[in-house]
A and B are shown apart, each in its own frame.
Chain A
Amino acid sequence: MSEPQHHIKLAEESLQKQTTTLNLGPTHPATHGVFQNILEIDGERVLEAVPTIGYIHRAFEKIAERRPYYQITPLTDRLNYCSSPINNMGWHMTIEKLLGIKTPKRVDYLRIIIMELSRIADHLVCNSVIGVDTGALTVFTYVFQLREMIYEVFEEVCGSRLTTNIGRVGGFERNFTEASFTKIHHLLTLLPKGLKEFEILLNRNRIFMDRCIGAGPISAERALNYGFTGPNLRAAGVDYDVRVASPYCSYEEFDFKIPVGTNGDVYDRYLVREGEMWQSVSIIRQALEKVEALEKEFPDQKHVFYAPEADHFHLPPKEDVYTKMEALIFHFKMIMGEIDALPGEVYHSVEGGNGEVGYYLISDGGRTPYRLHFRRPCFIYYQAYPEMIKDGLLSDAIITLSSLNVIAGELDA
């Protein structure tokens, strides 16, 4: 018998190698975003993962160095596009901190309503996608109806849905309409029912639990060392929440709990997000009550939707622009970016859908930032991914990725 003929040139040692190299991504339906992982697998066990990121890097920090402040808001939309209002308002609050603008209470409460709604939208996507990746497609279709209704509220308030560009420095571009309050109230009657239904389908579902419990765990020490924040850190058992640790936007007046997990695995992350959605519903209720109480006590407050000190940064209403000269001049000055900011150095952070979204802004007094750095929670905790999926199954690696809620836009900036 003659030796077998090798017509294909194989790499050195590739015949001796007992493991398989698997390329997962960059565009794969299971990764829910554009990022690549080169996995070294032994059967179904993951030995090593090498992540590659940067596929949708858009150089936002560089672009921001040449944009007037109000033109940076649309850039922040595209970081975590599942909860863009939180990013928008975080950015506005950073400028307010730089300029020393104090927002009226009503603006704070309205902002909280919008931010908590977007937190629910963000968590709904993440949790239902865990369901999809474990084979439970039904829940995904159920809750996306609720997400749709949240987007309708955004549409009513600012005119757009996904990349919202909501609000302005000092408050909102226009007052909330009656319809938007009606929509929020209507949503509040539907959300608890929807969440309950969602929980009945998944929380104690045997198949779901068997898939999720123990998959992709991380200890509290490692999570802190890796710079985890948000639901992923709380799932590991650390109760750090920016809303409580350094309250912004009058969060200190609200009564809410921080759900925490114990093992930091997929199931805990799921439960923490689930618990947070209930807390968000409660926060929105409280905020609506506070708005109503405020309007009852001071009827003028009904028309307050931005801070008066922020006049130099707030576009005048369109009807004024068309009829009054001062408003037209202001509008022109703002749009052309003629308004200078104060020089200063400021770091401000908000609790985004995935954790602490930070803005490190250095202003040299010009019309644009000298340097703007986004602290993007996804980017920081995604580097723990190889450690989390090591020695687990390939299918666990997929649900770990979806439970971390890695959003490509936030990852790559």
Chain B
Amino acid sequence: MTNEFIKQKLTDKFGEQITNWEEPYGMLTFTVPAAQNLKVMQHLYDEETLRFRFLTDLTAVHFPDRKGEELSVVYHLHNLVDNARIRMKIFVPIETPDVFTASQLFSAANWMERETYDFFGVNFVGHPNLIRILNVDEMDYFPMRKEYPMEDPTRIDKDDEMFGR
């Protein structure tokens, strides 16, 4: 199964809605509108010629500089039969980070979405149990967002200009 074939199949079904086609290091990558994520995944799952029925990974990335699409949720899907991998991305604003849950389609998404919520605050709409998983329940912020630097901000003995990010 070639990347062109998958791209063709998806374009036939969803047309212009899927954007940003890329192939970094051979993996087909594309962006779908946030509201369409479940529809595209369901189509990838059901369509007999595509069969992307294995959720390898689900995570989020924070881009503070992209206004209106600060949070990106990244899905890695795998077709085990034809051994093809794709990467699907959606972008949501940080004020309303609402994404439809994939946990009804993949049981594996349950904890992965909880982890993503825990660290980035992505609100997975329809998730059966969206609570923190690795951090303490009392935590009131989302630590993997870029506004929380690694080092203690009160320290002045470290020169970030030379040795920091």
| Chain A residues packing against B (C-beta within 8 Å) | 53-54, 57, 59, 61-63, 65-66, 97-98, 222, 224-227, 238, 240, 245-246, 336-337, 344-347, 349, 356, 358, 360, 362, 366-368, 370-371, 373, 375, 379-380, 382-384, 412-413
Contact = CB atoms under 8 A, between A and B. Distances in A.
Interface residues of B, number: 40
A413 B134 contact: yes
B108 A383 contact: yes
Nearest to B149: A66
A371 B144 CA distance: 9
B108 A226 contact: yes
A62 B61 contact: no
Q: Which 7 residue pairs of A and B lie closest in terms of their CB atoms, listed nearest first?
A: A227-B108, A54-B134, A66-B150, A57-B134, A373-B59, A383-B111, A375-B57
15 contacts: A54-B133, A57-B134, A62-B148, A63-B150, A336-B163, A344-B24, A347-B27, A347-B87, A360-B59, A360-B74, A368-B165, A371-B61, A382-B111, A383-B107, A383-B111
B108 A375 contact: no
Given A224-B80, A225-B108, A383-B110, A53 B53 contact: no
Nearest to B132: A54
Interface in B34-58: 53-57
Nearest to B83: A245
Nearest to A383: B111
Nearest to A373: B59
B164 interface: yes
A238 B54 CA distance: 12
B29 interface: yes
B93 interface: no
A375 B165 contact: no
B56 A375 contact: yes
Given A225-B107, A226-B107, A347 B150 contact: no
A373 B135 contact: no
B59 A57 contact: no
B135 A54 contact: yes
Given A344-B24, A345-B24, A413-B134, A224 B165 contact: no
Nearest to B54: A224
Contact of A240 (B61, B80, B133, B136): B80
B109 to A, nearest CB: 8
Interface in B96-130: 106-108, 110-112, 115, 119
Contacts of A379: 111, 115
A227 B151 contact: no
Nearest to B89: A345
Contacts of A238: 80
Contacts of A337: 163
B108 to A, nearest CB: 3
A349 B143 CA distance: 26
Tell which of A371, A375, A384, A412 has the most Cβ of chain B within 10 Å.
A371
B9 interface: no
A186 B40 CA distance: 54
Contacts of B106: 225, 227
Contact of A360 (B57, B83, B119, B148): B57
Interface string B8-40: 000000000000000011010100000000000
B143 A59 contact: yes
Given A238-B80, A245-B83, A65 B150 contact: yes
A360 B62 CA distance: 14
Nearest to A221: B53
Contacts of A371: 61-62
A380 B76 CA distance: 14
Given A57-B134, A360-B57, A412-B134, A347 B111 contact: no
A66 B57 CA distance: 23
A113 B57 CA distance: 28
Given A53-B133, A336-B163, A360-B76, A373 B57 contact: yes
A371 B106 CA distance: 24
Contacts of A412: 134
A412 B111 CA distance: 12
B108 A62 contact: no
A100 B109 CA distance: 32
A10 B76 CA distance: 49
Residue of B57, B136, B148 contacting most chain A CB atoms (<10 Å): B57
Contact of A66 (B53, B108, B143, B164): B164
